[in-house]
C-alpha cells in the first residue's frame, strides 16, 4: 500500500539472519514480494539470510527469486550457516547470471552440506570463462572433502574470485582433505586465496585416525614451505 501511495522508503539493506527460520512456506511471502517487486527490491544492495536453518527447498525457492530479474542492484548475498546441500546450491548456481544479477559482486555460501560436486557447479557458474556470469569478485565457500580435480583447479588459481575457503575433513575416507593439501604443497606458488579455515575430524577407527595424521603431516609440510603464506 505504501508503494502504491509513493511513500515506500528506499530499501538498500535487508538483514533477516536468524530471523526467518521455519518451513519454506514461512519464507514464501518474502520471496513473493521480492520476485514480483512488491518490495522496492530494485534498490536492494545487500541481503543477509544466514543462520536460518534452511535446507534445499528454501534454496530452490530463493533461486527463483534470483532469476526473476528484480534484484538488479544487489551487490552482496549471504546464505551462510544454513543446511543447504548440493541440490539447493545447484539451483542457486543456475540462476547466477549477469542478466538478472548485473551488480552482484560478493557471495557468501559457507553452508554446511556442500560436497565437491556442488562446489564445482558453483565455481563453474562463476568461472571467468563463462560470459553469462555476474561480476562476482568475492566468494566465500565451504566444502566437505576435496577431490583431486577441485584441489588442483583451486591451487592453480583458476577461480580468482574465491577469497574465503572453509574445508571440512570427516572420518569418511572419501571426504578427506589430503588431495587438497598435497596439491597446495606441490603447486608452483602459494595458495591464491585470502582466508582458509580447516576442520579436521578424528575417528574412533584406527585407520581413519591414521588418515587424519597423514593430513596433518602434509599440512605441516605446506606451512613449512610457505604455501599458505597468502591466507595466514
CA distances from 19 to 38, 40, 45 (A): 20, 20, 19
pLDDT digits (tens, 9 = 90+) for 110-150: 987 889 999 999 999 999 999 999 999 999 999 998 888 99
The answer on pLDDT for 214 being more than 90 is no
Cell 544487489 identifies what position?
A: 74
- In this predicted structure, the answer to whether residue 175 has a pLDDT above a threshold of 70 is no
- Nearest Cα residue to 112 out of 53, 171, 28, 159: 53
- Is the pLDDT at 206 greater than 60? The verdict is no
* pLDDT per position as a tens digit, 93-113: 999 999 999 999 999 999 878
CA separation for the pair 62, 79 (Å, rounded)? 10
Q: In this model, does residue 43 exceed pLDDT 70?
A: yes
Q: Rounded mean pLDDT of the chain?
A: 86
pLDDT at 37: 57
Model confidence band, residue 39 (pLDDT cutoffs 50, 70, 90)? low
CB of 144 within 8 A of CB of 176?
Answer: no
- Please give the pLDDT value at position 138: 97
Closest Cα partner for 221 from 194, 185, 179? 185
The fraction of the chain above a pLDDT of 90, given in percent, is: 54
Say which residues have a Cβ less than 8 Å from residue 45's Cβ, sequence separation at least 6: 12, 13, 73, 74, 75, 76, 103
Total length of the chain: 232
Point out which residues pair with 166 in neighbouring strands.
Answer: 142, 197
Q: Are 55 and 23 in contact (CB under 8 A)?
A: no
Instruction: Give the pLDDT confidence score for residue 170 in this predicted structure.
Output: 76
Amino acid at each position: 500500500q505504501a508503494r502504491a501511495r509513493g511513500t515506500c522508503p528506499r530499501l538498500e539493506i535487508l538483514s533477516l539472519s536468524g530471523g526467518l527460520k521455519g518451513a519454506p512456506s514461512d519464507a514464501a511471502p518474502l520471496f513473493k514480494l521480492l520476485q514480483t517487486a512488491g518490495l522496492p527490491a530494485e534498490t536492494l544492495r545487500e541481503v543477509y539470510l544466514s543462520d536460518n536453518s534452511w535446507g534445499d527447498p528454501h534454496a530452490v525457492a530463493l533461486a527463483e527469486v534470483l532469476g526473476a530479474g528484480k534484484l538488479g542492484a544487489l551487490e552482496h548475498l549471504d546464505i551462510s550457516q544454513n543446511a543447504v546441500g548440493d541440490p539447493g546450491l545447484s539451483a542457486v548456481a543456475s540462476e547466477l547470471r549477469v542478466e538478472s544479477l548485473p551488480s552482484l559482486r560478493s557471495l557468501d555460501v559457507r553452508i554446511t552440506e556442500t560436497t565437491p560436486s556442488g562446489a564445482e557447479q558453483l565455481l563453474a557458474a562463476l568461472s571467468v570463462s563463462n560470459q553469462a556470469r555476474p561480476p562476482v569478485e568475492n566468494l566465500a565457500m565451504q566444502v566437505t572433502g576435496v577431490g583431486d580435480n577441485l584441489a588442483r583447479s583451486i591451487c592453480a588459481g583458476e577461480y580468482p574470485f574465491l577469497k574465503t575457503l572453509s574445508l571440512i575433513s570427516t572420518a569418511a575416507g572419501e571426504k578427506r582433505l589430503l588431495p587438497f593439501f598435497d596439491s597446495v604443497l606441490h603447486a608452483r606458488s602459494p595458495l591464491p586465496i585470502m582466508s582458509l579455515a580447516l576442520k579436521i575430524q578424528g575417528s574412533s577407527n584406527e585407520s581413519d585416525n591414521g588418515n587424519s595424521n597423514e593430513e596433518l603431516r602434509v599440512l605441516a609440510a605446506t606451512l613449512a614451505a610457505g604455501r599458505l603464506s597468502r591466507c595466514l
